[in-house]
Structure 1
Amino acid sequence: MLYNSLSYLVFLPVVFALYWLVNTKSLKLQNLLLLAASYFFYACWDWRFLFLLVFSTGLDYFTGLQMHNAKNQGHKKFWFWLSIIINLGFLGVFKYYNFFVDSFQELLSGFGIQSSFWTLQIILPVGISFYTFHGLSYVIDIYNDRIKPEKNIVDYSLFVSYFPLLVAGPIERATHLLPQLKKKRHFDYHKAMDGFYQILWGLFKKIVIADSCAAYANAIFDNYENANSITLLLGAIYFSFQIYGDFSGYSDIALGTSKLFGIDLFRNFNFPYFSRDIAEFWRRWHISLSSWFRDYLYIPLGGSKGGLKSKVRNTFIIFLVSGFWHGANWTFIVWGLLNAIYFLPLLLTNSNRNHLEIVAKGKSWPTVKEFFSILLTFCLTTFAWIFFRSETLGQAFTYIKNLFSFNFEGGIAYLEIDRYSVELLFMLFAFIVFEWFSREKEHPFFGKAKDMLAVFVILMIVVFGVYSQASEFIYFQF
């Protein structure tokens, strides 16, 4: 069930009405309803993988209790590693087994050794990377005595499978979400309206910005071998806005949906394309994943406390693992490596935490230095997105080679296809302006003109939205 589908347009109001009108006096019934709705939501993708979600939930729930009741450290460690190995084992089999087999076969063939290994003919369960990380953080926090295990199986199951965040995050922590699930919730009109506005902005990002840019990005990346430099540049820029509109749009819809039920989720995006360096970009892009790797991998490895060698090592590990988390393809690993290289000068000069506040806070415009810093960061990020978008390393390197061939013959190709062209360029400019003047908020709907803006955005969605088919969100594949 897609957020941008008619089925979700029916599903959400029904759950909302039952939640507030039927079960408003009972917290247990509210949580049970949300859990049932979450399982139904997930089963709409493929009901067979619902059993995997339930098993993963039960495993972490049980091992959490066993660790808490362990008689000694050895027993506690046993249950901890049992959960870690099984969770990562499932993730590894479904997501990475074929990648390792294919890579090993290619390595052997490079030495002239022909081999044939068994591969799995399976599809990747949607959201497995996200709900696995929910469970892992819970187990790790119990092992490190940060939290106590949740004894209510319904509340814990809802924490793992809460439908607004189930298939593409944000990646929640038990310390943040579980206390909200155990607290009596009352309908808050202003919070619900804020959620509605955020859903609306997320739909605009997805249906109008991301899906329109996708038409051009796909056409250019599919014909990269014959495109000139300026066309390839446009393709990379279009993809930059596609992936931002797509993923941040999903996150806005998730956060807005959760607000309708009186529950706050982690903010996952904070205007990353207004970042002045790569370090700031990663504090503003996919925040829940970046902070997860920081807290559960980077800091346990030693973080920034060791010498220069360990700092560099830990930084490269984090970015490489982040790249590999996104997909079983060498393109994602190179994408992570490239971001680590971007980050390295900031680490070496101890300037990776120079920009903790939003750019030009309290001001209308950035300084000239800030403007060019933002532009440079966007260019570096867009260049790295080429690897993220490409299907193979060969395609990525050919795309980059042709991009820097400085061939401008034929003008801008693929500008007149089945979607509007010049209008999209103006729309992207207007989108940037809206984002800029709302960068200190969660979305542009604030102040006295928010209702008028909402009507305008609805009209834009109706007129310029992509409706030929409800397109999946990019991060569903991760």
Structure 2
Amino acid sequence: MVFSSLTFIYYFLPLLIILYYGTKSSTIRNLVLIVGSLFFYGWGEPVWISLMVISAVVDFTNGKIIDKNRDNKLRHVALVASIVINLSFLGFFKYYGFLVENINYIFGLSIKYHQLSLPIGISFYTFQTLSYTFDVYRGQAKVQDSFMKFLMFVSLFPQLVAGPIVRYVDIAEQINHRKENFHQFSTGVTRFCTGLGKKVIIANTAGSLSDLFLQGDFSKMSVVGAWLGILLYAFQIYFDFSGYSDMAIGLGKMFGFDFKENFNYPYISKSASEFWRRWHISLGSFFRDYVYIPLGGNRKHFIRNVLVVWFLTGLWHGASWNFILWGMYYGLLIFLERKLYGHLLEKLPVWVQHTYLIVVMLVGWVLFYFVDLGVGMTYIGMMFGVGVTAFIDPITWIHIRSNIFFIVMAVLLSTPFLVKIKAMIVSRFDLFKSDLHVVWNIIMVFLATTMLVGQSYNPFLYFRF
């Protein structure tokens, strides 16, 4: 089940809201969320519910051991056990096949293996439970005494399968003592509807258009066609993932939780470093706090620390060399900006800085998209005129003219421009603020429903990670 499905919008969510607010008991409300979340996850992954529950048991137990053994070495053992067990689960299900394939290739072997299905959301809930044991170990979070509340944290359906990565310390108080109110619920509905519109109206449309270029006949590709194809994919992955994050944050608010933001208009950035402060913020902050800083951060072994973090960032996204190359590509860019040309870049006109980011970002998305590195390198070459016969071809020109309104809207929605316009309207006509939100929500749900009727299954892109 996905948020952008008619089943979720018209059946699952309304029923869960009725059951949740049908009682004033916080214990029963927690139970409703747990059962609802497990049902939500089990709708598509009934087999792997057990794995998620085991992860919760492991980290709940290790958290208790750490808390009770502050003055002896058993707390170190519990932390190591949490790391080893969680990463073993993640490594086995996500990277086992990749590892065997590379061993076979390097040593000329033919080890047979069964390709395992990847449990949905394992990359996200593994990091969430790990953050709990890390924070309890470091004294930054109080241990959770109730397993039911901890299981609710792990299984909470809004952020379960595709993030954002919600740390226990950020919502601990809300788990124990949250106070739902109408304003928060209403804000959550609007945020959910906005994310729904991003996913169904913008991301799905951009994905259909990008496939015409990225999965088409490269022999007829032009320079403009190559850039347009990957630009459309950039719109797809941004509105898809940020749309999911909006929906997750909105759903959280409906049930009394405040999740941190996961995107902050990354495409307006002026450098690769700034881009990653704005894109998938929860993942970047996780690696910063639990890998980069413990390794020494900026103080010592800077090059090593950057390479380790970006190798892991790439590997986290998938068991494939293109993701590792994509991660290392950004690691190299960030290193060069920090040590070589970053200060020069800052002195250039703003439009030049933006152009630099757009170019390196789009090249990065090519590495991200094409699992076959040879095809990816060929595509990058076409973007710069290698292996193409024309700067622009008639088919590309037709697509640009036919979809110019959509492209312009996607560009504007990638910036705070329309949000600022909306804020000006709301401030000028404050009496109509709630009415505007109601109208907006109705329009988003109506358009999304219209587009979803008869549409084939179209999950969020980050479900695969």
1:151 is the counterpart of 2:145:
yes
Q: Distance in 2 between matches of 1:316 and 1:440?
A: 38
Q: How does 1:380-399 map to 2 (within 5 A)?
A: 380-399=360-379
Q: 1:201 aligns with which of 190, 194, 216?
A: 194
Q: Is 1:287–2:281 an aligned residue pair?
A: yes
Shift of 1:87: 0.5
Tell whether the 8 Å contact from 1:216 to 1:414 is kept in structure 2 after alignment: no
The answer as to whether partners of 1:331 and 1:392 remain within 8 angstroms in 2 is yes
User: 1:326-363: per-residue Cα shift (whole Å, max 9, x none)?
Assistant: 000000011011111211232116969x99xxxxxxxx
Return the match for 2:321 from 323, 330, 336: 330
> In the alignment, which residue of structure 2 is the partner of 1:363?
none
Contact 1:4–1:470 (Cα < 8 Å) also in 2: no
Partner residue, 1:475: 462
| SS of equivalent to 1:48 | coil
Whether 2:291 is the aligned partner of 1:297: answer yes
Contact preservation (8 Å) 1:134, 1:172: yes
Long gaps (5+) in structure 2: none
CA contact (8 A) 2:203 2:235 kept: yes
Query: Which runs of 5 or more residues in structure 1 are unaligned?
Result: 109-113, 356-366
Q: Is the 8 A contact 1:60 1:83 kept in 2?
A: yes
Alignment of 1:244-283 (within 5 A): 244-283=238-277
Whether 2:395 is the aligned partner of 1:413: answer yes
1:410 and 1:268, CA in 2 relative to 1: closer, same or farther beyond 3 A? closer
Distance in structure 2 (CA, Å) of the matches to 1:174 and 1:331: 32
What letter matches 1:314 in structure 2? N
**Superposition deviation, residue 289 in structure 1:** 0.3
Distance 2:400 2:255 in 1: 39
Q: Which moved more, 1:399-408 or 1:133-142?
A: 399-408
- Whether 1:29 and 2:32 are equivalent positions in the alignment is no
Is the Cα contact below 8 Å between 2:206 and 2:236 reproduced in 1?
Answer: yes
Inter-partner Cα distance in structure 2 for 1:269 and 1:443: 19
Residue aligned with 1:170, SS:
coil
Return the alpha-carbon distance in structure 1 between the equivalents of residues 349 and 121 of structure 2: 40
Q: Distance in 2 between matches of 1:396 and 1:131?
A: 31
Give the CA deviation at 1:222.
1.7
**Against the structure 1 CA distance between its residues 17 and 459, is the aligned structure 2 distance closer, same or farther, given a 3 Å change threshold?**
closer
Cα offset for 1:210?
0.9
TM alignment of 1:34-433, pairs within 5 A: 34-70=33-69, 72-108=71-107, 114-186=108-180, 188-223=181-216, 225-226=218-219, 227-306=221-300, 310-348=301-339, 369-404=349-384, 405=386, 407-408=389-390, 411-413=393-395, 422=401, 424-433=403-412
Aligned-partner residue type, residue 192 of structure 2: I
SS across alignment from 1:164: helix
One-letter amino acid of the structure 1 residue matched with residue 124 of structure 2: F
| Mapped partners of 1:392, 1:11: distance in 2 | 39
Deviation at 1:206?
0.8
Distance, in Å, in 1 between the alignment partners of 2:96 and 2:411 is: 41
Query: Residue 259 of structure 1 aligns to which amino acid in structure 2?
Result: K
How far off its partner does 1:467 sit?
Answer: 5.0
Q: Larger deviation: 279-288 or 372-381?
A: 372-381
Partner of 1:6: 6
Shift of the alpha carbon at 1:45?
1.1
3-state DSSP class of the match of 1:123? coil
SS in 1 for 2:159: coil
Distance 1:288 1:91, change over 3 A: same
| Aligned residues of 2:196 and 2:445 also touching (Cα < 8 A) | no
- 8 Å contact 2:196–2:444 — kept in the other structure? no
Distance verdict in 2 for CA 1:402–1:167, change over 3 Å: same
Superposed CA offset, 1:352-397 (max 9, x none): 9x99xxxxxxxxxxx9932332232122111100010002111111
1:17 aligns with 2:4: no
Counterpart of 1:121 in 2: which secondary structure? coil
Which whole-Å CA distance do the structure 2 matches of 1:427 and 1:454 have between them?
A: 20
Shift of 1:413: 3.3
Give 1:402 deviation, angstroms: 2.4
CA distance in 1, matches of 2:205, 2:194: 15
Deviation of the 1:457 alpha carbon:
4.3
Contact 1:197–1:256 (CA under 8 A) maintained in structure 2: yes
- Name the CA shift for 1:424/1:153 in 2 (closer, same or farther; >3 Å): farther
- In 2, distance between residues paired with 1:254 and 1:159? 14
> For 1:146-199, what per-residue CA distance to the aligned partner results, in whole angstroms no more than 9, with x for missing partners?
22310111111111111000001110111111211111423x222222212211
Q: How many residues align?
A: 452
Q: 1:442 to 1:46 in 2, by over 3 A?
A: farther
Q: Aligned-pair distance for 1:410?
A: 7.0
Q: Greater shift after overlay, 41-50 or 369-378?
A: 369-378
**1:4-49: CA deviations, max 9, x gaps?**
11110111111112112x12x2111111111111111100012110
Distance 2:130 2:177 in 1: 24
Question: In the aligned structure 2, how far is the partner of 1:224 from the partner of 1:160?
Answer: 44
Change in CA separation of 1:393 and 1:151 when aligned onto 2, cut-off 3 Å: same
8 Å CA contact 1:270, 1:442 repeated in 2? no
User: 1:299 aligns to what SS in structure 2?
Assistant: helix
Q: If each structure's helix is expressed as a fraction of its own residues, which one has the higher value?
A: 2
Q: Identity of counterpart residues, as a percentage?
A: 33
Counterparts of 2:204 and 2:396, CA distance in 1: 15
Letter in 2 for 1:469: S
